[in-house]
């Protein structure tokens, strides 16, 4: 008897792009709000950004059901942490937790491409970038999702990241001001929207700094 | 349905997994309007290419505040209705004056669908969940693998391709009941013309703060005498 083949996939790609940029004392996290399946748009107004802790925000694209489940798991774990330690989780700590959570499902992965952004224990901006099974790295900026291939080269050019091979290790956070970084992010998405069919509709930008969290929106092309 | 997985080594243990849907319903459309939610679905259930059942209610009330519409495998929908029934029952048994709203029911359904997908044994449905509680309107959708979202208008299956574009163009805030029904009928008519598994017998359900009303089944007027369909082979004799 020939082996039965599955005729449905437990995964789907709901598209979208996420970007995060770390500054000296701020962090910008941005994602578009389009949710698609195949060649259809399901909704134009869907947030991919989730605040996990006071100083830690995650943006994820990929398979939305897995993204939501992952956000739920991390939020629940953060709540337990708060009960046990009477304080908020730092961004580096959440970074490690996210990695471990992703690897936990190494053999049935969360199809979720994440960027974690926030402020580290010294108040400096930090960005962590992940693959679907949890390998991660702290970087000065990152982009994930369907438009990442279009945005990453542009960010490489604009943010002139120092080589990770340099010794002593040079800081990867950008010297740009907060407004300049936000402007850069808007430019990234306007460009990605032109060529990536899964990116568009609206851009949600979250900025984390010493004063707290603030959120702004920008319209993108809807085609 | 018991399937012997080829990976089991000869003993009679079997793994039950959903592979294909058998009796399926087609699109469901839902929209928010001034007083609440309107949902439409036809009453057909197909067995492959046979239009086997023509009086299937695919939109049902859930508790006091919600409506659920389902497309896909009808037996799985009946299973979901039993689970929801149990959910509402336990909620009522608390007798605390509180009742599950549409947001809560939508979340419950999402968890249920996602968990079954994780076990590789999905409930083969796309569900539309709408309702009103304390003046707040809510309309959401869940797919068989757990993808979920809420919006001002939703549709499943073919409705996503044929009805959503019409709704994107013509839906607006504070539709009256009459306009809402006209809009839904416009979408259902297009689906009737173009979806082969649609039947011309539909129900429109309404939910407001006051409660649920499911209309009696009725048919849409259709027109097939378009000029382009008359003499289709004129100018190219021999083709069809």
Distance separating alpha carbons of residues B60 and B63, to the nearest angstrom: 10
Q: What is the mean pLDDT of chain A?
A: 94
Q: What phi and psi values does residue B134 have, to the nearest 5 degrees?
A: 50, 45
- pLDDT at B8 exceeding the cut of 50: no
* Confidence label for B18 from pLDDT (cuts 50, 70 and 90): low
Q: In angstroms, how far is the first alpha carbon of chain B from the final one?
A: 42
- Chain B residues bordering chain A (beta-carbon distance below 8 Å): 3-6, 18-20, 110, 114, 117-118, 120, 122, 141, 143-151, 160-161, 164
Q: Say which residue, B226 or B51, is predicted with more confidence.
A: B51
Cis status of the peptide bond prior to A168, with omega within 30 of 0? yes
pTM exceeding the 0.95 threshold for the entire prediction: no
Question: What would the pLDDT profile of B167-201 be if each residue is shown by its tens digit?
Answer: 999 999 999 999 999 999 999 999 999 999 999 99
A11–B145 CB contact, under 8 Å: yes
Q: pLDDT tens, A128-157?
A: 999 999 999 999 999 999 999 999 999 999
pLDDT, averaged across chain B:
92
Report the pLDDT value the prediction gives residue A174, as an integer from 0 to 100.
76
Q: Averaged over A199-219, what is the pLDDT?
A: 96
d(CA B202, CA B40): 7
What are the tokens at A85? 């330690």
Measured between CA atoms, how close is B225 to chain A, in angstroms? 31
Q: Cα B108 vs. chain centroid, distance in angstroms?
A: 17
> Which residues between 127 and 146 in chain A have a beta carbon less than 8 angstroms from any beta carbon of chain B?
none
Give the three-state DSSP class for A127: strand
Kindly provide the ipTM of the predicted complex, given to two decimals: 0.91
Contact A15, A5 (CB under 8 A): no
At residue B163's C-alpha, the angle toward residues B148 and B62, to 5°, is: 50
Are the beta carbons of A10 and B145 separated by less than 8 Å?
yes
Q: Both tokens of residue B3?
A: 């399937």
Q: Is the pLDDT of residue B160 over 50?
A: yes
- Lowest mean per-residue pLDDT among B1-5, B20-24, B70-74: B1-5
Helix (H/G/I), strand (E/B), else coil: B235? coil
User: Could you read off the pLDDT of B118-153 as tens digits, one per residue?
Assistant: 999 999 999 999 999 999 999 999 999 999 999 999
B58, B61, B62, B66 alpha-carbon torsion, rounded to 10°: 110
């Amino acid at each position: 008897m020939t082996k039965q083949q599955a005729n449905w996939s437990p995964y789907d790609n709901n598209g979208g792009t996420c970007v995060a940029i770390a500054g000296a004392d701020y962090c910008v996290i941005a994602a578009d709000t389009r949710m698609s399946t195949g060649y259809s748009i399901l909704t134009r107004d869907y947030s991919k950004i989730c605040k996990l802790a006071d100083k830690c925000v995650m943006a994820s694209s990929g398979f939305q059901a897995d993204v939501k489940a992952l956000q739920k798991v991390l939020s629940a774990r953060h709540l337990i942490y708060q009960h046990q330690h009477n304080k908020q989780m730092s961004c580096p700590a959440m970074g490690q937790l996210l990695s471990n959570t992703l690897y936990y499902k190494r053999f049935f992965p969360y199809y979720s491409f994440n960027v974690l952004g926030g402020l580290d224990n010294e108040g400096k901006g930090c960005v962590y970038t992940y693959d679907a099974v949890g390998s991660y790295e702290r970087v000065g900026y990152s982009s994930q999702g369907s438009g990442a291939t279009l945005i990453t080269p542009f960010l490489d050019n604009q943010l002139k990241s120092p080589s990770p091979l340099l010794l002593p290790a040079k800081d990867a956070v950008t010297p740009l001001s907060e407004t300049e970084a936000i402007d850069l992010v808007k430019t990234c998405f306007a460009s990605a929207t032109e060529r990536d069919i899964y990116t568009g509709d609206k851009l949600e930008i979250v900025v984390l700094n010493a004063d707290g969290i603030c959120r702004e929106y920008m319209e993108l092309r809807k085609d | 349905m018991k399937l012997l997985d080829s990976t089991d080594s000869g003993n009679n243990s079997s793994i039950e997994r959903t592979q294909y849907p058998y009796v399926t319903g087609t699109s469901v459309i839902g929209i928010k309007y001034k007083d609440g939610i309107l949902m439409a679905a036809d009453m057909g259930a197909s067995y492959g290419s046979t239009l086997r059942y023509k009086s299937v209610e695919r939109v049902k009330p859930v508790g006091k505040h919600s409506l659920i519409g389902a497309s896909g495998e009808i037996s799985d929908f009946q299973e979901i209705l039993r689970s929801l029934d149990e959910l509402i029952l336990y909620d009522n048994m608390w007798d605390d004056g509180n009742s599950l709203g549409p947001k809560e029911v939508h979340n419950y359904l999402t968890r249920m669908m996602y968990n079954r997908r994780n076990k590789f044994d999905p409930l083969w449905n796309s569900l539309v969940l709408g309702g009103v509680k304390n003046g707040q309107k809510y309309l959401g959708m869940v797919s068989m693998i757990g993808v979920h979202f809420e919006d001002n208008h939703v549709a499943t299956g073919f409705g996503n391709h044929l009805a959503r574009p019409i709704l994107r163009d013509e839906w607006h805030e504070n539709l009256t009941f009459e306009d809402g029904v006209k809009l839904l009928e416009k979408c259902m008519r297009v689906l009737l013309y173009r979806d082969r598994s649609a039947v011309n017998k539909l129900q429109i359900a309404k939910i407001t703060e006051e409660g649920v009303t499911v209309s009696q089944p009725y048919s849409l007027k259709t027109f097939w005498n378009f000029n382009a369909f008359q003499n289709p082979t004129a100018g190219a004799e021999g083709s069809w």
